[in-house]
Amino acid sequence: MPRTAASPQRGQPTIVSIAERAGVSIASVSRVLNGLGARRDTVERVERAAAELGYVPNAVARSLKDGRTRQLTFAMPDIGNPVYVAMVRAIQSVAKAAGYRLLLHSTDAVVDDELAVLRSLGDRTSDGLIICPIRITDAHIEALRAAAGPVVVIGSLPDEVPVDSVRADSVAGASLAVHHLYETGRRRIAFVNGPADTVPGRNRHEGYRAALADCGLTYDPSLVVHTDFGIESGAEAAEALLHRSPDAVFCANDQLALGAARALHARALRIPEDVAVAGMDDSALAQAGWPPLTSVDLGSTERGRRAAELLLERLGAPDSPTPHTTTAPPRLVVRASTGRAAPDA
């Protein structure tokens, strides 16, 4: 059954319905709607018809025509982590200002999911992608090279991969925290880290070790726990570390630190008098607990903003050959959880 032009699929008005109602051609409708020249009365009739029909231009048709969707995709491991929330906010704000919508993907850090997202750039659903993988495999690198559209990576890529990226300096960040703990008198600094096989996990561990060496402290493996990022894990890890009697617990993110703080409170240990606690990310969580948490700001918001800006630049000049890499400098934010130890501690 052939469908007549006057009865479109969903009853939604199209330029055809407007043209019929206004008694002009669809080309004129298009011109008027796009503010190009037209005779006064043509303009009026078209605008009236459009208003009366409640016309809204079909964005899909427009996209097909001009090859862009005005959508950006952000893929991150877990929207439950405040760090990624901060990134989403920053990206969303830049995107919105530039007239782009934001598509969200939670990958749960599953490699296949991340690769699928990368490949899906080819389906033209969005004009560009910001992806934040916590592991970077050879498959990632291959997929990045083969990407069918602009990509910005939030994370640490090998230098030879020709892709824009924004990285945190978590080596320096971890080091900052350890130095601070040392300077406020701590000597047995435990470390609750995330998974050892992730980029952040490796880097934070490296920073921790290096800073200990700087301070003339010996690295003691029994003061280090690897777990996953999460409040419960932090509590369990801290619990397990307590019999090593640390005087400080440095955690690879704020969620772990909050968990650690809870474990200490539960044992009636005072923070910071008995044990200091420091986290990383300086997320909203750092100020949620008691005492407020010393934390290393790794610039999540900054990184999100910068990634979005890079992506927009790339969309403006697709063939600019040189990939940009920015590194957000870490910043130590000292709060009450790391004051001086009690004299007798």
Residues of the shown chain interacting with DNA in the complex, contacts defined by CB under 7 A = 2-3, 5, 8-10, 12, 14-16, 23-31, 33-34, 37-39, 41-42, 55, 57-58, 61-62, 64-67
Place of tokens 């009697």: 245
Among 285, 296, 307, 328, binds a copy of itself (CB under 8 A): 285
Nearest distance from residue 285's CB to a copy of itself, in Å?
A: 6
Q: Which is nearer to a copy of itself, 122 or 329 (CB)?
A: 122
Among 161, 210, 231, 269, binds a copy of itself (CB under 8 A): 231
Nearest distance from residue 175's CB to a copy of itself, in Å?
A: 26
CA gap 202, 189 in Å, rounded: 18
Q: Which is nearer to DNA, 6 or 342 (CB)?
A: 6
Partner whose footprint covers residue 196, from a copy of itself, DNA, none (CB < 5 to 8 Å by kind): none
CA gap 286, 333 in Å, rounded: 10
Counting DSSP H helices and E strands in the chain, the numbers are 12, 12
Q: Which is nearer to DNA, 30 or 287 (CB)?
A: 30
Contacts of 275 (CB under 8 A, 6+ apart): 246, 247, 248, 249, 264, 269
Partner whose footprint covers residue 14, from a copy of itself, DNA, none (CB < 5 to 8 Å by kind): DNA
Binding status of residue 119 toward a copy of itself by CB under 8 A: yes
Query: 79, 136, 135: which is closest to 102 by C-alpha?
Result: 79
Binding status of residue 290 toward a copy of itself by CB under 8 A: yes
Partner whose footprint covers residue 16, from a copy of itself, DNA, none (CB < 5 to 8 Å by kind): DNA
Among 6, 59, 97, 213, binds a copy of itself (CB under 8 A): 59
Stretch that binds a copy of itself, among 51-59, 198-206, 215-223, 309-317 (CB under 8 A): 51-59
Q: Which is nearer to a copy of itself, 56 or 213 (CB)?
A: 56
Secondary structure of residue 105 in the 3-state scheme: strand
For the chain, the straight-line distance linking the first and the last C-alpha, in angstroms and rounded, comes to 86
Burial class of residue 57, CB neighbours in 10 A (0-12, 13-18, 19+) = middle
CB-based contact 332:177 (threshold 8 Å): yes
- Torsions phi, psi for 302 (to 5 deg): -55, -45
